[in-house]
Amino acid sequence: MAEVTLSGISKSYGDQVALDDVTMTIPDGAFVVLLGPTGAGKTTTLRMVSGLDRPDTGTVTIGGRDVASYTPAQRDVAMVFQQYSLYPHFTVRQNLEFPLKSPILQTPQAEIERKVNAVAEVLQISHKLDNKATALSGGEMQRVSIGRALVRDPSLYLMDEPLSSLDAKLRSDLRIELKSIQADSGATMLYVTHDQTEAMTMATHVGVLDEGKLVQFGSPREIYENPVSIYAASRLGQPRINVLPSDVFGGAPNKATHIGLRPEQIFQGEGEDSFVRRVEHLGDQTRLHLSFKSHDLITVTDAHTTLKEGEIIQIRPENPFYFDASGARVS
């Protein structure tokens, strides 16, 4: 169990600022997802906490202790990297056993076997336990890397896009397994992903990074329903929030230059004419690609809609977001 804090963490590589004064408190047992495009500073944040790299300024604490002088091993964290790092000459079983064979742990062999078998089952890799690591597909190697973190019982997991190389079915299975393993063990999780669904379904908290700055930290619901900026609003929600000039509809507040409309913030019925460019049936819902005063808009409607391309529907904003010229939320 461990609360993790980052206070005023900055890190540059040469001229490149990777993290800029990041302060964040990760409550004990929380599942924190870091969101942001490539280069935002997500991996660097994990490296600061793991001890694989040192901040230029600022303090990291784990379980209330300043860990500046602790090696990665002393920090009691298990890390899964974006690129899997297995021992190639070992079998899957040997790779999974390795973290438990440390002389300090003194884990009895029966216990090692029990843990390895349990983790292999969760990760759907039991049938490959005696294969050499080099004889696995990329997705299988990634599952073994996740397994090596899970066989241990650390107070903190750090995972960098662990599911991104897996196919959709396995990703959704493992999303549920990882979430329940973390919740059951009570371990704290700091997790990087690009996947909206992972963020929305797994996270207790989301941290939004923008060019090394933490621009918003809160529950996924808070960030979805109350984003601080266009940037933060665009990180969650599928399809993405629509951003248009604020004067396309009436009623914008003074300072607003842009209006932000999530699909459910577009009321369909009474309003202004809008042209249906494309109708995309996705099974559980239908996406409507609209053309409105020469702007493109995407919204959703029910799965059984009879709307066709070329029709005109009426729309109006419903409790939209407004942003100023800098992208900051004004109302």
Q: Considering only residues 14 through 53, tell me which ones interact with Mg ion, judged by CB under 5 A.
A: 43
Note the helical H segments in 88-219: 92-97, 109-122, 138-150, 168-185, 196-202
For Mg ion, the nearest residue by Cβ is 43
Strands annotated E in 161-249: 188-192, 205-210, 213-218, 242-245
Beta bridge partners of 7: 59
Pairing of β 242-245 and β 286-292: unpaired
CB 221, min distance to ligand ADP, A: 23
- Binds ligand ADP (CB under 6 A): choice among 6, 30, 35, 43: 43
> Residue 8 — φ and ψ, nearest 5°?
55, 40
Stretch near ligand ADP under the rule CB under 6 A, chosen from 38-46, 68-76, 169-177, 279-287 = 38-46
CB 42, min distance to ligand ADP, A: 3
- Binds ligand ADP (CB under 6 A): choice among 9, 44, 116, 119: 44
Does the footprint of ligand ADP cover residue 18 (CB under 6 A)?
yes
Kindly state the tokens that stand for 242.
């629509």
Does the footprint of ligand ADP cover residue 58 (CB under 6 A)?
no
Site string for ligand ADP, 200-229 (x = CB under 6 A): ------------------------------
First and final C-alpha spacing in the chain = 39
Residue with Cβ nearer Mg ion (142 or 242): 142
Tell me how many residues contact Mg ion (CB under 5 A): 1
CB 19, min distance to ligand ADP, A: 7
Collapsed DSSP state (helix, strand, coil) of residue 57: strand
Query: How many residues appear in the chain?
Result: 331
Residue with Cβ nearer Mg ion (122 or 215): 215
Residue with Cβ nearer ligand ADP (18 or 256): 18
Pairing of β 77-80 and β 312-317: unpaired
Residue with Cβ nearer Mg ion (43 or 165): 43
Residue with Cβ nearer Mg ion (36 or 263): 36
The option from ligand ADP, Mg ion, none interacting with 306 (CB < 5 to 8 A, set by class) reads none
- Binds ligand ADP (CB under 6 A): choice among 6, 24, 33, 42: 42
The option from ligand ADP, Mg ion, none interacting with 40 (CB < 5 to 8 A, set by class) reads ligand ADP
Buried b (16+ CB within 10 A) or exposed e, 221-248: eebbeebbbbbbbbbbbeeebbbbebeb
Pairing of β 205-210 and β 31-35: parallel
Class of residue 120 by CB neighbours under 10 A (exposed 0-12, middle 13-18, buried 19+): buried
CB 160, min distance to ligand ADP, A: 7
CB 52, min distance to ligand ADP, A: 10
Does the footprint of ligand ADP cover residue 253 (CB under 6 A)?
no
Alpha carbons 306 and 199: distance in angstroms, whole number = 33
DSSP at 240: P
- Binds ligand ADP (CB under 6 A): choice among 4, 35, 40, 96: 40
> Residue 215 — φ and ψ, nearest 5°?
-95, -20
Residues that bind ligand ADP in the complex, under the rule CB under 6 A: 13, 16, 18, 36, 38-44
Residues that bind Mg ion in the complex, under the rule CB under 5 A: 43
